[in-house]
C-alpha cells in the first residue's frame, strides 16, 4: 500500500511539472523554397513573456513583421493561451541556412527556441492559378519609376516619380520600403509631399488606381551611362477570395508582395567644348546677372555694400558666383552669402547672392569693372555670357577735414589728412559736484540700497527651499519635461482631435519637426530607413524606433481610412510617449 501511494505521488508531481512546462518554439511555413518565394517564421509560446529577441536574419531580407497575435480561449473551464511573433522572409541567395535561436523571458526565466534549417533553391516557376492570392496580387499591383528625360545634359535637371498602381479589384492596406534608390552619381533632392491621394490612371492600357509615393529631382554630375538603383516595397495586398460573408459579399484575403520599380539607366550627354567661354564655371540653365551698390558716393572711412546676384532656373547650388575686381585702395571684406533657392518638381529656382562690404581708405573716384558670368542655355543648347556695367565709386573728403574736391584731378588718390581739431569736442576737465546740489550719502536711495540686500536674504532662502523640493521630485521633473516636449510638438495636433484629416496632417508634421530638431536633418532627407539609421546610431532602442516608424506609417494611411476619436486619441498618446522616449534615449 505504501509503495502504491509513493508511485501515485510521484506520478502527480511529474504531471504537474509537465503541465507547468513552458512551450516556446520556432515554426517554419516551409523548410524548402525557391529564391523568388517567401518564408513565414512564427515564434509561438503558450505563456506571455517579455523582452523577446529574434535571431539574426543575415541571409534573408525581412519583408514583413514582426506581427504579433494573441489567442486566449476557455474550453470546458480550461484556459488555452498562445502568443505568436511572425516574420516574413525573402532569401538573398541559394543554399542551406540555419536560423539561430530566439529568446524570451517568462516569469524571470529565459527560454530559447531550437535553431531551424532552411534550404533555398534557384527560382521556381510560380503558379498561375487565378484563384491563388499570390498570383492575383502579382498581376494586379505594379511599382513604376517615371523618368522625365532619359538623355539629359550634364547638370540638366530630371525628375523621377515613383507610382504604385493597383487594379480596382484589389486593395493595399500597408507598405514598407525595403530598398531605397541610390543616386551616387547625381545631386538629388526629394520633393516634400503634403499627403498621399488616390488617383485614376492607366497601366498597360487598363484602368488602374495609383498613388505617388515619391518625387525626386536629380542633377547628373558626370556624363555617360548612370544607373538609378530600384525602389523596392513590401506591400500588404488585399485580394478577393472565393469566400462570401453572411450577406453574400466577397471576403478579402491579405498577402504580402514585394514589388520593385526596377533599375533605370540614364545616358548623360557632356556639355559641348565648342564655344565654351574661358570663365565658364559649370552653370546650366537660364540666368540673369545683377551687380549693384548701396551708394555711389560716400565719405572716406564710410562703408558701402556691393551685391552680386545671379537669379533664374538651373543648378543653382552647384556653381560659384564670379568675383568682382575691386581696386586695391578699397578695403574689401569676405562676402556674406544670402542664397534664396527652392527646389520644385522641375528643378531649382531662386537667386544666389553675395554681399561685399567695401571701406575706402583714400578719397578719389574708383572704377569697378563689369563682372562677366557665363552659362549653358538648355533651350538654345549654346553658351551665353552676361556682363554687368562698369560702376564708379566717388569717395569724398573726410567730414572732419574738408578739402575742395576740385583741388585734385579725378581718379588721383590722396591720403585723407587728419584734422588736429577732430577731437576738440571731447572735454579734458570735469566737475564732480552734483547737478541738483545734494549728495547721495545718507539719502533715501542710499538707505534703500543698503537695507534691500538684507531684506532679500529670507526671501532667497524660501525660494531656494522650494526650488530644491521642486528639483528633488525626479518623477515630477520627468513628467513635466515630457509634457512640455509633447505640448511643444503636438499642440497643433491636439487642437485638431476629432477632425481626422487635419489631425493626422498636424501629427505627421509634429513628428517630422521633432526629428528635424533632434537629428538636425532636412525634410527632404526623410525616409524610414534614414530615420531608423540615425536613431539607432544615437543609441535609441529598436523597440522605440519601430514604434516611431509605425506612427509615421499610421499618419500616412489613417487619413485615407476610417478612424474614430478613440483611435486618434490613442495615436496622440502614443506619439507623446514616443517623443518622450526618444528624447530620453538620444545620446
The confidence score (pLDDT) of residue 494 equals: 78
Where do the DSSP E strands lie in 280-415?
A: 285-293, 297-299, 304-314, 330-332, 336-337, 340-344, 347-360, 362-368, 372-377, 382-387, 391-396, 414-415
Highest CATH level, class, for 286-415: mainly beta
Residues of the chain with pLDDT under 50: 1, 12-19, 400, 403-426
Determine the pLDDT at residue 388.
Answer: 94
What pLDDT, on a 0 to 100 scale, did the predictor assign at position 541?
A: 83
CA atoms within 13 A on the CB side of 199: 11
| Three-class DSSP category at 445 | helix
CB 175 within 8 A of CB 137: no
Query: Residue 550, SS3?
Result: helix
The residues, any chain, with a CB within 8 Å of residue 546's CB and separated by 6 or more, are: none
pLDDT, position 422: 39
Which 3 state secondary structure label does DSSP give 23? coil
Domain boundaries, the chain: 21-121, 133-268, 286-415, 474-585
Q: Do domains 21-121 and 286-415 have the same CATH topology?
A: yes
- Quickly tell me which residue has 513573456 as its cell: 49
Query: Among residues 250, 103, 235, which one has the least CA distance to residue 171?
Result: 235
Residue bearing cell 574738408? 402
520 phi, psi to nearest 5 deg: 55, 55
Phi first, then psi: give them for residue 231, nearest 5 degrees. -95, 130
CATH for 474-585?
Answer: 1.20.120
- Residue 407's pLDDT is 38
Write down the pLDDT at residue 347.
Answer: 93
Kindly give, in sequence order, each residue whose CB lies less than 8 Å from that of residue 281, ignoring residues fewer than 6 positions away. Answer: 319, 320, 322, 374
Q: Is 381 in a helix, a strand, or coil?
A: coil
Place of cell 509605425: 550
Residue 417 DSSP code: P
Distance, CA of 414 to CA of 293 (rounded, Å): 23
Give the residue carrying C-alpha cell 477632425: 499
Burial label, 415 (beta-carbon count in 10 A; 0-12, 13-18, 19+) = exposed
Contact 269, 359 (CB under 8 A): no
Residue with cell 538651373: 314
* All cell numbers assigned to 587: 545620446
Instruction: List beta partners, residue 178.
Output: none
pLDDT for position 418: 45
Fold classification of 21-121 is Immunoglobulin-like (2.60.40)
**What is the pLDDT, as a whole number, of residue 561?**
58
Which grid coordinates belong to 545? Answer: 524606433
Confidence (pLDDT) at 337: 92
Amino acid at each position: 500500500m505504501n509503495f502504491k501511494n509513493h508511485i501515485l505521488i510521484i506520478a502527480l508531481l511529474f504531471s504537474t511539472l509537465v503541465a507547468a512546462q513552458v512551450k516556446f518554439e520556432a515554426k517554419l511555413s516551409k523548410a524548402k523554397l525557391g529564391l523568388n518565394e517567401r518564408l513565414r517564421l512564427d515564434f509561438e509560446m503558450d505563456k506571455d513573456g517579455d523582452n523577446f529577441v529574434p535571431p539574426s536574419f543575415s541571409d534573408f531580407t525581412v519583408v514583413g513583421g514582426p506581427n504579433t497575435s494573441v489567442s486566449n480561449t476557455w474550453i470546458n473551464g480550461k484556459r488555452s493561451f498562445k502568443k505568436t511573433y511572425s516574420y516574413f522572409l525573402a532569401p538573398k541567395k541559394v543554399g542551406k541556412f540555419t536560423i539561430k535561436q530566439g529568446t524570451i523571458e517568462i516569469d524571470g526565466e529565459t527560454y530559447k527556441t531550437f535553431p531551424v534549417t532552411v534550404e533555398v533553391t534557384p527560382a521556381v516557376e510560380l503558379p498561375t492559378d487565378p484563384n491563388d492570392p499570390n498570383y492575383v496580387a502579382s498581376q494586379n499591383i505594379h511599382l513604376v519609376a517615371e523618368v522625365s528625360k532619359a538623355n539629359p545634359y550634364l547638370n540638366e535637371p530630371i525628375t523621377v516619380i515613383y507610382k504604385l498602381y493597383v487594379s480596382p479589384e484589389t486593395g493595399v492596406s500597408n507598405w514598407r520600403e525595403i530598398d531605397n534608390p541610390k543616386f551616387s552619381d547625381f545631386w538629388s533632392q526629394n520633393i516634400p509631399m503634403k499627403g498621399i491621394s488616390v488617383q485614376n490612371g492607366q497601366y498597360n492600357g487598363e484602368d488602374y488606381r495609383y498613388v505617388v509615393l515619391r518625387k525626386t529631382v536629380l542633377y547628373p554630375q558626370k556624363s555617360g551611362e548612370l544607373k538609378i538603383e530600384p525602389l523596392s516595397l513590401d506591400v500588404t495586398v488585399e485580394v478577393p477570395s472565393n469566400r462570401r460573408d453572411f450577406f453574400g459579399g466577397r471576403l478579402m484575403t491579405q498577402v504580402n508582395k514585394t514589388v520593385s520599380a526596377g533599375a533605370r539607366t540614364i545616358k548623360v550627354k557632356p556639355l559641348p567644348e565648342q564655344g565654351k567661354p574661358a570663365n565658364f564655371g559649370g552653370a546650366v540653365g537660364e540666368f540673369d546677372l545683377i551687380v549693384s551698390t548701396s551708394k555711389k558716393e560716400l565719405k572716406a572711412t564710410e562703408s558701402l555694400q556691393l551685391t552680386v546676384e545671379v537669379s533664374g532656373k538651373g543648378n543653382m547650388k552647384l556653381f560659384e558666383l564670379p568675383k568682382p575686381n575691386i581696386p586695391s585702395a578699397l578695403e574689401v571684406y569676405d562676402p556674406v552669402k544670402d542664397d534664396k533657392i527652392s527646389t520644385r518638381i522641375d528643378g531649382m529656382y531662386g537667386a544666389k547672392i553675395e554681399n561685399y562690404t567695401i571701406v575706402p581708405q583714400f578719397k578719389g573716384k574708383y572704377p569697378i569693372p563689369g563682372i562677366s558670368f557665363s552659362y549653358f542655355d538648355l533651350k538654345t543648347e549654346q553658351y551665353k555670357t552676361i556682363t554687368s556695367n562698369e560702376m564708379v565709386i566717388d569717395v569724398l573728403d573726410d567730414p572732419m577735414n574738408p578739402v575742395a574736391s576740385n583741388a585734385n584731378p579725378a581718379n588721383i588718390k590722396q591720403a585723407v589728412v587728419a584734422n588736429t581739431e577732430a577731437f576738440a569736442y571731447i572735454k579734458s576737465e570735469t566737475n564732480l559736484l552734483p547737478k541738483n546740489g545734494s549728495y547721495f550719502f545718507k539719502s533715501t536711495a542710499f538707505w534703500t540700497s543698503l537695507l534691500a540686500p538684507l531684506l532679500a536674504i529670507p526671501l532667497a532662502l524660501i525660494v531656494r527651499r522650494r526650488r530644491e523640493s521642486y528639483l528633488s521630485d525626479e518623477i515630477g521633473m520627468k513628467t513635466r519635461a515630457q509634457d512640455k516636449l509633447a505640448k511643444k510638438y503636438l499642440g497643433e495636433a491636439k487642437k485638431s482631435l476629432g477632425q481626422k484629416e487635419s489631425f493626422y496632417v498636424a501629427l505627421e508634421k509634429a513628428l517630422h519637426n521633432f526629428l528635424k530638431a533632434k537629428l538636425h536633418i532636412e525634410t527632404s532627407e526623410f525616409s524610414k530607413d534614414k530615420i531608423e539609421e540615425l536613431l539607432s546610431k544615437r543609441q535609441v532602442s529598436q523597440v522605440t524606433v519601430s514604434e516611431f516608424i509605425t506612427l509615421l506609417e499610421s499618419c500616412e494611411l489613417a487619413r485615407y481610412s476610417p478612424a474614430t476619436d478613440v483611435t486618434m486619441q490613442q495615436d496622440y498618446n502614443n506619439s507623446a510617449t514616443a517623443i518622450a522616449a526618444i528624447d530620453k534615449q538620444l545620446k
